[in-house]
Structure 1
Amino acid sequence: MSDAAIHPIRFILSDLDGTLLHPDHRPSQRTVDTVRALRAAGVFFSLASGRPPKAMLPMVETFGIDIPVAGFNGGTLISPDGSVLVAHHLPAEAALIALALFSAAPDVETWVFADGDWLRRDLPGPMVQRETDGLGYGPVVVESFEPYLDRIDKIVAASLDTQRLIELEAQLQPRVQGLAQVSRSQPVYLDVTAMLANKGEALKTLAAHLGVPLEQTAAIGDGGNDPAMFQVAGLSIAMGQAEEAVKRQASVVTGSHVEDGAAEAFERFILSAGLR
C-alpha cells in the first residue's frame, strides 16, 4: 500500500517558475486543468515562490487559488486579494553583508525587493529584461539601498555565470549564519531572505491554518529553495530538470517543466491515489 493511500494528500504547496510554468512563464492547459481537478477533488492548493507577491497574483487568478500563498521564498504570506498576512524582513546586518559581497562581484547584478517594489541602483544588465519578462513589471531605480535596510524582503544576486553564484553562496553562508537564508531559487538567481523566510516554514504555517497534518501535505519544486519544504512535507516531488542535489532530497522525481512534470505528478501520485 502506498504512502498516498495511507495518508491521502489534502494540501499541495507548489513552486511556480520551473515547476508549474513553462520557460515562457506560462502554465500549460494540462497543468491548469489538473490543478482545477485537484481543487474539485477537495485538495487545497497553494503557491510558494521566490517571486514578489504582486508578481504571483496573476497566477493566483489563473489557478483559481482561494487560500493564502507565499512569496519571497515563504517570507511573505498573502491572501488571494493581495493583502499581506505575514511578512519576515531581512535583518539589516545581514543585508549589509550581502550587499557588500554582491556589489564587489563582477558580472553580478544586485537587486533589492522592499515596499512592494523591485529596486536596482546600477545600469541595467542582461538579467533585468529576463526578470521583467518573468515578473511582468520592471525595476525602480534608486540612488541607494540604505533607506530600505529596515524593511527588505529579499536581496538577489543575478548572473548568467552560475558557477560565480555558487561561489558567492558558499562565501555568504557562513557570514550570515543564524541571520539569513541563502539559496539559489534558480541557477541564475541567488536569494537572501530572513531566517523564517523559507518554504518549509510557509508549508507548516499554511498547513496549520488549513488544519491539515503535515503527513497529508505534498510539496513540489525544482530549485535550491525547495528542499526546505521537501523536508517537512509528507510527499516531496522534484522536477526532472532540477539539480541532482535537489532531486536527492525529494521522495520522487517527475518529468521536467517542459514535459508538464507537475501535472504528471499530481495525476499519478495524488489524484489517482486519492480516487481509488
Structure 2
Amino acid sequence: MKEVKMVVTDMDGTLLNSLHEVSSRFFDVYKQLKQRGILFVAASGRPYYSIVEKLHPIKDDIIVIAENGGLIIENKEVLFSNIINVEKLQELYNLVTNIKDTYPIFCTKNRAYIVRASDDLIETISEYYSVYTIIDSFEDIKDHVIKIALYNSTNSETQIFPYVKHLSPELNVVVSGNHWVDISEAITNKGHAITILQKQYNIKHSETMAFGDYNNDLELLKCAKYSYAMANAHPNVKTIANFETKSNNEFGVELILENLISESS
C-alpha cells in the first residue's frame, strides 16, 4: 500500500455507521493521512452541504464529490458540475411524479426541491437533504438540477427501478441504496469524477484506494487498485472490488486506513 496517494470513500453504509455518524477514530486517522500528504476524497450520493456537515472539522482540507459525481468541490471551489439537460427535465418530472409510493427530490448545488411529502417522510429525507423547499409543480424548481433522487420506503430495486430503467443509457439510472434510485446525466458517476481528479493530481490507478457499499460505487471502485467492498455491501460491489473489509459499524474503513498508515511509516 506504500504507493497510495489518494483515498476515496463513500459515505452512507461505508464511512458513516448505521446512525449516520462519522467516528472520532476516523478523524484521528485522517490527521495521519494529511501528515503523509495523502489526498482524501469523500464521494457520495449526498449533496455537498450534507457531506461537509458530516465532515465539518476537515471540510476545508478535503475534496468532495457530491450527487454521485455530478459535483466536485475543493475548498468551496467548483471543479466540475454536470446538470441535467433542461429540455429533458420537464419530461422526467412528469415521469417520476407519477410512480406510485415514490417521492422525487430534485437536487441542486445548494438545496433540494421535494415534491409533496408528509412530515414523517420529510424527517427521513432531511437526514440527507437538510436544505430543502417543498414544491407542488415543475415551475417551482428555480435552480439547475444535478440529480433526481427517488425515495421509496419499501424497496428501491422492486418499487422504483423497473419504472425508470428504460431511461438508461441516455441517462445514468442507478440503485444507490435500499430505498433510493438516482437519475443523472449519462457520464455522471463517481468513477468519472475520480478520473478527473486523478488526471488533475497526476495520480495513477495503482496509487488510488477506494471504499464503497452500493451500486453507485461500482465505477468508483474500478478506478482504484486498492478497492474495498464493505462487509455490508451489495453483492455487485463485492464482485467488483479487489478486497473486502469489515462493515461500516465495525470501522471497516478505519481499519484499512490504519494499515495504510502503518505501511507508509
Report the TM-score, using the length of structure 2 for normalisation.
Answer: 0.90
Task: State the partner residue of 2:77.
Answer: 83
Distance 1:112 1:158, change over 3 A: same
Task: State the partner residue of 1:69.
Answer: 64
Distance 1:47 1:223, change over 3 A: same
Instruction: Output aligned runs, 1:121-132, within 5 Å.
Output: 121-124=115-118, 126-132=120-126
Instruction: Output aligned runs, 1:85-234, within 5 Å.
Output: 85-92=79-86, 94-114=88-108, 116-124=110-118, 126-135=120-129, 137-146=130-139, 148=141, 151-162=144-155, 164-166=156-158, 168-178=160-170, 180-234=171-225
Counting aligned pairs with the same residue, the percent is 24
* Structure 2, unaligned runs of 5 or more: none
Determine the C-alpha separation between the residues in 2 that align with 1:123 and 1:29.
Answer: 34
Determine the C-alpha separation between the residues in 2 that align with 1:71 and 1:193.
Answer: 12
What SS does the aligned partner of 1:30 have?
helix
Moved over 6 A (4+): none
CA RMSD in angstroms, aligned pairs only: 2.2
* Structure 1, unaligned runs of 5 or more: none
| CA shift for structure 1 position 93 | 5.1
Distance 1:22 1:66, change over 3 A: same
| CA shift for structure 1 position 156 | 1.1
Amino acid at match of 1:214: H
Listed one character per residue, the Cα deviations across residues 14-36 of structure 1 (whole Å, up to 9, x for unaligned) are: 11122111222221111221222
Distance 1:123 1:86, change over 3 A: same
Listed one character per residue, the Cα deviations across residues 157-192 of structure 1 (whole Å, up to 9, x for unaligned) are: 101211x544532442333422x2111222111111
Determine the C-alpha separation between the residues in 2 that align with 1:115 and 1:36.
Answer: 28
Report the TM-score, using the length of structure 1 for normalisation.
Answer: 0.87
Task: State the partner residue of 1:271.
Answer: 261
Listed one character per residue, the Cα deviations across residues 66-93 of structure 1 (whole Å, up to 9, x for unaligned) are: 243211111111122x332321011245
Answer whether contact 2:175 2:215 (CA < 8 A) is retained. Answer: yes
Determine the C-alpha separation between the residues in 2 that align with 1:252 and 1:138.
Answer: 36
Question: Matched residue pairs, number?
Answer: 265
Determine the C-alpha separation between the residues in 1 that align with 2:82 and 2:72.
Answer: 9
Answer whether contact 2:167 2:173 (CA < 8 A) is retained. Answer: no
Determine the C-alpha separation between the residues in 1 that align with 2:109 and 2:248.
Answer: 31
